[in-house]
Every structure is written in C-alpha cells, then in structure tokens.
Chain A
Amino acid sequence: MLKFNYKGLSLAMAFVMSLGISWSVQASDAKAPDKVPTPSAAADVFGIAVDEKVKKSTADHSKFKELQVDFKDGPAVTKACISCHTEASKQLHKTKHWNWDYINADTKQHLGKKNVINNFCTSVPSNYKFCTACHIGYGWEDDKFDFTAEEKVDCLVCHDTTGGYKKLPGLAGHPNYKTMEWPPHSGKFRPPTDLKRVAQSVGKTSRATCGACHFRGGGGDAVKHGDLDSTLTNPDRHLDIHMDAKGLDFSCAKCHTSDSHEVAGSRYEPTAVDDKGTLIRGSKDERNAATCVACHGNVPHSGEFAKMNEHTDKLACQTCHIPAYARGDKHTKMTWDWSTLGEMDEQGKPKKIWGSEGKVLYDSKKGNFTYDRYVIPEYQWFNGDVEFTLADTKVDPTKVLKINSFKGSPDDGKSRIWPTKVFRGKQMFDKGNNTLVITSLSDDPKTALWKNFDINKAVEYGMQYAGRDFSGDVGWIETEMSWPITHMVAPKEDVVDCHQCHTENGRLAGIEGIYIPGANNTPLIDKLGFLAAFLTLVGVLIHGAIRYFMHKRGG
C-alpha cells in the first residue's frame, strides 16, 4: 500500500504556486508601460509618450544650474544665458534690433529708430529712458550707452514664454525689479518681475513676444501700424489666415525668418516686388524671406481664380488679400495734432478727453488724436524705395510734409500698387531753419514736455541734446507718414471683391497709370461705342421697314 507523501505534495504545490506567481508577475511586468500614468502635458511622438517640454525643446532650462539663481537684474540673467549661448550677444550686436541704426545702401540715408523723426512721439534722442522700453537691451538711458556690452542684451524680452516679463517706459529697457504702480497714478501695482521663473521658462519667440513691442508701436496697442495689434496674439482665421490660432498658427518668425538673430523684413528697406518665386528655406539666396511670393510663388492662383494671376504685375498681393486694416476690434490712431497740446482743465491741471470708442481724444501732454477701425487702405505705387525726411532735411512749411516718401510709378517696371496706412499729423518744426526738430518729451525733469508743458523749452533742450542748430522759433507743420499694410491677411472668401475696384470711384480711383475695366473710360471710345450702337439700331429699323414694305408690295 502506498503511503501518501504529504511532504512531497506540499513541495509540488509550492513549486506550482511559485510558477504561477512568477508568471503572473512577469505578465504584469510586461503590461507595466500601459499602466504607468503619463504626464498631463505628454504627447505621442512616433508612438513614444513624450513630455510637452521634451517635445518642444531638447533643453529644459529649469534644470540648468546656472538659472537656479535669484537674479538681481536683467543683465545678471544675460550673463547666465551667454555662459552657454556664447555667441548670442555678439550676433545681436550686429542687428537693427540692437543698434537702432541702419544705412540704406541705395539712398545712403542714415536711418534706424535712433536717427529718424516720425509723426508719433517724433524722436528718440533725449527720450531714451522712455523709448528704450522697446529696445532689446538694458540701460540705454542716454547717448553714452555701451553697444558692445554683452550682458546688456535682453534675451528675455524675445524668449519669454510666461507672459510675466514686461519692460515699462521710463526704466531704460529694464523690467521692474521692485513693486511699481503701473500705469502711473492708476492705483494698480505691478509686483517685481520674477526673473528666475522667466529665465527658466525661455523658449522660441512668439506672436506675444514680438507683439510686446510691434503691436504697441507709437505708444500703445494698435496705435502705429494699423495691421499689427494685440488681437493678433490669438487671432481667428478671418483676422489673419496665417496666424489663425486654431489653424496654421504661424508665429511671426515663420515668415520673418532669422539668421544669426538678424530678422528678415524691414520697414526701412521693404521688398515691394518679389518675382523670384518660392524661396526654399535653407537656400543660399539671401533675399527677404518675409514676402508672399517666397512661399506662394509667382503664379499663386489656379483653377477658377487663375485670372487673378494677370493682376500680379500691377498689384501687390496685399492689395486684394487685406481688404481693411485694424479689423480686430482695436482702433488704430489715424491723426495726431501736437499743436493743441497744453490746454488745462478748470483747476489748471492736465486733462484728458475720452472719445466714444473709449480712446483718448485729447491729452494736455500730446494734443488731439483721431482713431478708426476696419479702415480701407490708401493705395499707392511702391517700388520698395523709401526716402525719409531727416533732422537735417529742409522742409517747406506751406505744404504737407511727407515724413517718408514711397517711391514708385506705373512705368518703372518694378512697382506695384500697395495698400498703406497714411498717418497724418501736425508736429513741431524749426520755423527759422525749416527743419524738423528733436523734442525732449519724457526724461529730463526740467525740460521734458510731458512734465513742463513748455514746447519751446522742450525743443530747445532736445535740439541741444542732439547737437543740432535751433533758431529758437517753434512752428507747426502738417505731416504724413506711410506704412505698408502687410499683416491681417484675410481668407480667400474675404478678399477685396472685383467690383470694389472695377467700378467708378472704386478703391483704386485716382491711381495713375493703370486701366481698370469698369472704372476708367475714354470719351472717344465711349462715343464710338454709342455711335456703333445707334447705327446698328438705325440699320435694324431700316432693314425692318424695307422688309415690311416689300412684303406689302409683294403681298
């Protein structure tokens, strides 16, 4: 008789159970990757779960030892940046963004922000602390700024991704490092800038970072350009088909490509005509990449729209594809009359008068303004050459002065009809010397116009600061400044309709050197046409009469 071996049975059971447990553990291990919770910001790239930060960049700046510091100011951040990005500041030192200085190779005019005079806040010299809120540097507060200092380049203003970095007027390009009331006298206080957080979050430039200055040119949102304002930070497709946040979502840099930090596209030397076809990114062709043709080519229309290609030898793409500017519900400034500045309220204090659209119509510091939105552009021939009225240009006060003249004609073979915003003003000039003037507006407490309301003192100091001759006699001159309209590109269903030009008094009425069917007429051809129609009618009637009488006779 067999004896039941309890010891053997228990060993066998233990073996089988251990196998089972082992298999189970292996099986669960095999499934482990599916069960690991992925980070909320994770994305799937080639089937591999990737954190959003990893997907966007190969470097997580928050992990950098150099940036785990409580920075005392902006230059301290820059020193940390250039400890790795060793050539960045040197590259930036060669750019227009840094120097605000530019010599036009064709006209030899000395341009750039620090040299030109416009009809908004007029000029930079003697107003550096205020104006350089939009300079990509720190500490440009007078004409002794060191343009070779690497730590003075402001990396954060272009590469911030937090939205928490702002350079305020009056701080010479610095953000606020202490709590500061902003806007002045508003009762609102802005906490110190969290430089550590901003530095650890740097990334690519965006519409918001470029727009921090370019949307606010002229002293406020939507003021200057007309086709650039804060509504482009997060636009829909009807405002801009390229930047549509839910569509193509272009950043500015998508068109305004950069090479060694020099950004394509310039208002000082614009490209009015590009007929060189598509520009392959990476090619050695150094032409402006920020043109329509650079992506869309020379023959952009096809199918039922192919006829439109016959317009491209006369019209810039923007003429049809940007039906109006300031379409994003922000009013753009249209006129500025400095000559009315200085009026005070009943208590003798500076005053502001607000308009129906909620914008300032009168400011004792600045005079009168007007605004508009959804503005139909003014059109002009333009070949890309721009001639500026500079501080030493003699002006004729009996005529409206063009601050910048767009060159071009229907006959030069290199012009197109462009949409423009024409900003009109009335501004200070030297009546004795017939020149535009440099005006001290903001910085010097004793002479600044916005602190003393004395235009003579302000101009006298401004001219002295800039080392220019001043007769002592301030006058007012009417001025115009043109801005090419090239952003806020509408989707195809919203482009300018044919009938808006092909009609009497249409959009292009008054533009010389172009024949527009439906808009233009030649009296002789009209008379010949009417004569032909009349003779045809007479012929028909005579023919009919003859047949009638012949029928009667024959009948």
Chain B
Amino acid sequence: MMKAVVGFITGIVFVGIAGWNMADVMMLREIQSPYGVEETAARIQRNIQSLSANGWTLSGLRNPAKAIAKSGSNVPPVLLVEACSTKYSGPILGEDKTRILSILMPCTITVYKKDDGKTYIGLMNAGLMGKMFGVGDIMAQVAKDQVIFTTFDPKKPAPPLIKIKPGGGGAGGKSADGC
C-alpha cells in the first residue's frame, strides 16, 4: 500500500514538473516561415481577410521594433498582425464569467526574426487556451482558422502589407468595431 501511495505522489510530482516546464511550449506555438517578415505578415493578413465569412477582420498592424528603436535600443524586426472576429468574440464578451478573456483580444499573430536570421510566426494555442478558460468550443474554431491563417500558397504572389492602425477599422476599414 505504501509503495502505491509513494508511486502515486511521485507520478503527480513528475507530471507537475513536466507540465511546468512545457507550459510555454503548450500555450504558445512557433512556426518557421519561408518568407521575410513583411511578406509573412502580408500573407497572414490576406489569409485572415479570406475568412471574412467567419467574421474575421484585420484590426491592426504594430511594429514594436520601431518603437524600441525610437526609445534608443535595437531589436530584430517584429510585426504584430491583429485580427478579430465578432462571431467568436461576441459569445465570449456576452458572458460575465468569460468577459475577462477580452484581455486576449484582438487575436495577435506575431512575425519576427531570430538571431539565426530566419523568420518565425508566433501564435497562441487557441485550442488549449479555450479549454483552460471554459470556452473550448469557440476557441477550437479559432484554432482551425489559425491553421488557415498560417498556410501559405507559394503560387500566389506576395500581397502588399496592409499598414492598418491598431483599432482603426477592419477589412475595408469598417468592420472592426466588434473587437
């Protein structure tokens, strides 16, 4: 009996340590992009616009590296593509118990360079986060859309980067009000 209890506790400790160490990897995903920072961001923007049927609109493009440069430091290029879907945000914001999740809005996809000179895409693991916060069904849909956002067709030419001010309108500059 004693052996079983010790084994059980050891198992819990082991899983706890493993979970703690893997939390960042589980909650955030990183994908390498075959394109440069601007083109990757532009292709993500185009993919987001292609899912307008799911309510997705662009709600901003931020360049934190530029702001850092202005304040007297230097970091490799980073672009934050911001998007939102009223179809998904509506139900979350409609409930008191999930309204706090507005802290994660708008949905941000980050595109950045690392010291290896390659371009990467950073995403929130929407599926896992949804399960953790009790909105698993909605976020499972978001996770599916995220896959489309980051699936690129090399046959399509590079689109122009849409330099949309954060919070300044969605697709066509009209429909970002819901987020």
Q: Which residues of A come within 8 Å of B, CB atoms? A: 236-239, 323-324, 327, 329, 353-358, 361, 371-376, 490, 494, 497, 500, 505, 507
B157 at the interface (CB under 8 A from A): yes
Question: Of the candidates A236, A354, A373, A376, which one forms a contact with B116 in the assembled complex, judged by CB atoms under 8 Å apart?
Answer: A376
State whether B115 touches A372 (Cβ < 8 A). no
What chain A residues lie within 8 Å of B157 (beta carbons)? 353, 361
- Give CA–CA (A376, B42) in the complex, Å: 22
- Give CA–CA (A355, B113) in the complex, Å: 18
Q: Which residues of chain B from 26 to 53 have a CB within 8 Å of any chain A CB? A: 36-39, 41-43
What residue of chain B has the Cβ atom nearest to residue A377's Cβ? B117
State whether A361 touches B158 (Cβ < 8 A). yes
What chain B residues lie within 8 Å of A358 (beta carbons)? 160-161
- Give CA–CA (A353, B73) in the complex, Å: 34
What chain A residues lie within 8 Å of B113 (beta carbons)? 374
Among A361, A373, A490, A507, chain B packs the most CB atoms within 10 A around the CB of A373
Given contacts A327-B74, A500-B115, contact A356 B69 (CB under 8 A): no
Interface size class of B (residues with CB under 8 A): 20 to 34
Q: Which residues of chain B from 53 to 75 have a CB within 8 Å of any chain A CB? A: 66, 69, 72-74
What chain A residues lie within 8 Å of B160 (beta carbons)? 354, 356, 358
What residue of chain B has the Cβ atom nearest to residue A494's Cβ? B74
- Give CA–CA (A27, B159) in the complex, Å: 76
B77 at the interface (CB under 8 A from A): yes
B173 at the interface (CB under 8 A from A): no
- Give CA–CA (A375, B41) in the complex, Å: 18
Q: A327-B74, A357-B39, A375-B117 are known contacts; what are 5 more A-B pairs with Cβ within 8 Å? A: A324-B117, A354-B160, A355-B38, A373-B77, A374-B77
Q: Whole-angstrom distance from the CB of A354 to the nearest CB of chain B?
A: 7
State whether B161 touches A236 (Cβ < 8 A). no
Among B43, B74, B113, chain A packs the most CB atoms within 10 A around the CB of B74
What chain B residues lie within 8 Å of A236 (beta carbons)? 69, 72
- Give CA–CA (A236, B41) in the complex, Å: 27
B76 at the interface (CB under 8 A from A): yes
- Give CA–CA (A358, B38) in the complex, Å: 9
State whether A376 touches B115 (Cβ < 8 A). yes
State whether A357 touches B69 (Cβ < 8 A). no
What chain A residues lie within 8 Å of B116 (beta carbons)? 376, 505
User: What are 10 A-B contacts defined by CB distance under 8 Å?
Assistant: A236-B72, A238-B74, A324-B117, A353-B157, A355-B38, A356-B43, A356-B158, A358-B160, A373-B77, A376-B115
Q: Which residues of B come within 8 Å of A, CB atoms? A: 36-39, 41-43, 66, 69, 72-74, 76-77, 113, 115-117, 157-161
What chain B residues lie within 8 Å of A376 (beta carbons)? 115-117
What chain B residues lie within 8 Å of A238 (beta carbons)? 69, 72-74
State whether B76 touches A356 (Cβ < 8 A). no
State whether B159 touches A356 (Cβ < 8 A). yes
7 shortest interchain CB distances as A-B pairs: A376-B117, A356-B42, A238-B74, A357-B38, A356-B39, A356-B38, A356-B161
Q: Whole-angstrom distance from the CB of B77 to the nearest CB of chain A?
A: 5
What chain B residues lie within 8 Å of A375 (beta carbons)? 117
What chain A residues lie within 8 Å of B41 (beta carbons)? 356
- Give CA–CA (A505, B66) in the complex, Å: 29
What chain A residues lie within 8 Å of B36 (beta carbons)? 356-357, 371-373
What chain A residues lie within 8 Å of B159 (beta carbons)? 356
Among A237, A355, A358, chain B packs the most CB atoms within 10 A around the CB of A355
What chain B residues lie within 8 Å of A497 (beta carbons)? 115
What chain A residues lie within 8 Å of B77 (beta carbons)? 373-374
Given contacts A238-B69, A376-B117, A500-B115, contact A355 B74 (CB under 8 A): no
What chain A residues lie within 8 Å of B69 (beta carbons)? 236, 238, 329
Question: Of the candidates B72, B117, B158, which one forms a contact with A355 in the assembled complex, judged by CB atoms under 8 Å apart?
Answer: B158
Q: Whole-angstrom distance from the CB of A333 to the nearest CB of chain B?
A: 12
What chain A residues lie within 8 Å of B158 (beta carbons)? 355-356, 361
Q: Whole-angstrom distance from the CB of B37 to the nearest CB of chain A?
A: 8
State whether B117 touches A490 (Cβ < 8 A). no
State whether A324 touches B42 (Cβ < 8 A). no
What residue of chain A has the Cβ atom nearest to residue B74's Cβ? A238
What residue of chain B has the Cβ atom nearest to residue A239's Cβ? B74
What chain B residues lie within 8 Å of A354 (beta carbons)? 160
State whether B115 touches A357 (Cβ < 8 A). no
What residue of chain A has the Cβ atom nearest to residue B157's Cβ? A353
